Amino acid sequence: MKKWLVILGMITCMLGLTACGAQKEEDPPVLSESEAEELGRQIVEDVNQYVVMQAQDQAGNQMIADAIASWESAAEDMGDYVEIISTESEIDGENGVIDVRVKGSVRDAIVEIVIERGALKSIATNVEYTFGEKMEKAALNTLLGMGTVFCVLILISFLISLFVFIPKLQDKFTRKPAAAEVKPEVRPVVSQPEEEELTDDLELVAVIAAAVAASEGASSTDGFVVRSIKRSGKLQRA
């Protein structure tokens, strides 16, 4: 930060000298062309270095924050920190890995420190579980995954089964009320008495009149008049 302030001070002085030189045209330039070019390169390099340092500081802060979060997450299964058991490292040039085995009150853990290009890349804490605990976790994860899949499939099947009611609901909301059917009026059938059947068969009338006159002992049918003929229940007419 001090270097950056020195650079800004130099730039300010240069601008002040340039302003003073503008008042006196006869004075020689403050910097020669080569000196100005060198100053420009130096300023650009310093600015770039400052930006790089700021980025490295931010990356370092983020790495430390991630390391603390990893340690706190592992502490739930590791328990309280007791001591460092052992340390192993594998360095190849500027890159490498350092494993620090830590003893906890419940389980042991390994703190993995990764170095890349001569600088710290990451710090992570991994809890060591027994084979039984690993198998138990794997079984629980499998059951949880399969249970989730089956629940989703059952839900999808239930939704598909409801598609049957969609056309019925559409018909219910879109169908117009049908016009009331007009039923024909039913009237009771009233039986009418049979009208007297009259016949104009003159021959039958003459035969009947003669039969009646004969039964009365009369010699002619002048005193008899046949007014009507009715059917009797014994298929006879009188």
Residues 34 and 38: their CA atoms lie apart, in Å, by: 6
- pTM summary value: 0.43
pLDDT tens string 37-81: 888 888 888 888 888 788 777 877 888 888 899 999 999 888 999
CA–CA–CA angle 165, 171, 172 (5° rounding): 85
Domains in the chain: boundaries: 31-127, 131-162, 197-238
DSSP secondary structure string, 161-176? HGGGHHHHHHHHHHPP
Where does the pLDDT of residue 237 fall: very low under 50, low under 70, confident under 90, or very high at 90 and above? very low
Helix (H) or strand (E) holding 160: helix 131-161
pLDDT tens string 71-123: 999 998 889 999 999 999 898 888 999 999 999 999 999 999 999 888 888 89
Residues 67 and 73: their CA atoms lie apart, in Å, by: 10
pLDDT tens string 118-149: 888 889 999 998 888 889 889 999 999 999 99
Is it the case that residue 26 has pLDDT exceeding 70?
A: no
| CB of 90 closer than 8 Å to CB of 97 | yes
